[in-house]
């Protein structure tokens, strides 16, 4: 299972698995949460509900 994280200052979205940055489909960041969620679905990886947002 992965969690989508919005990196506040950059505006980019990443996915975290077990506290570590995960790579899905050869990518490790996306411009919006929907694209990150779609990448996880294509890889058959479940996604946590909600998006964690950081300030820095």
- Per-residue pLDDT reduced to its tens digit, 7-21: 999 999 999 999 999
Would strands 12-17 and 2-7 be described as parallel, antiparallel, or unpaired? Answer: antiparallel
* Distance (Å, whole) CA 48 – CA 9: 22
Element (H, E) at 16: strand 12-17
Is pTM, for the whole model, over 0.85? yes
Listed in sequence order, the DSSP H helices in the chain are: 33-42
Residue-wise pLDDT tens digits, 1-56:
999 999 999 999 999 999 999 999 999 999 999 999 999 999 999 999 999 999 86
* Distance (Å, whole) CA 47 – CA 27: 16
């Amino acid at each position: 299972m992965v969690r989508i994280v919005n990196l506040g200052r950059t505006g980019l979205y990443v996915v975290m698995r077990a506290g570590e940055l995960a790579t899905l489909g050869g990518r490790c960041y996306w411009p919006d949460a929907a694209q990150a969620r779609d990448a996880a679905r294509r890889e058959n990886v479940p996604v946590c509900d909600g998006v964690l947002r950081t300030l820095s």
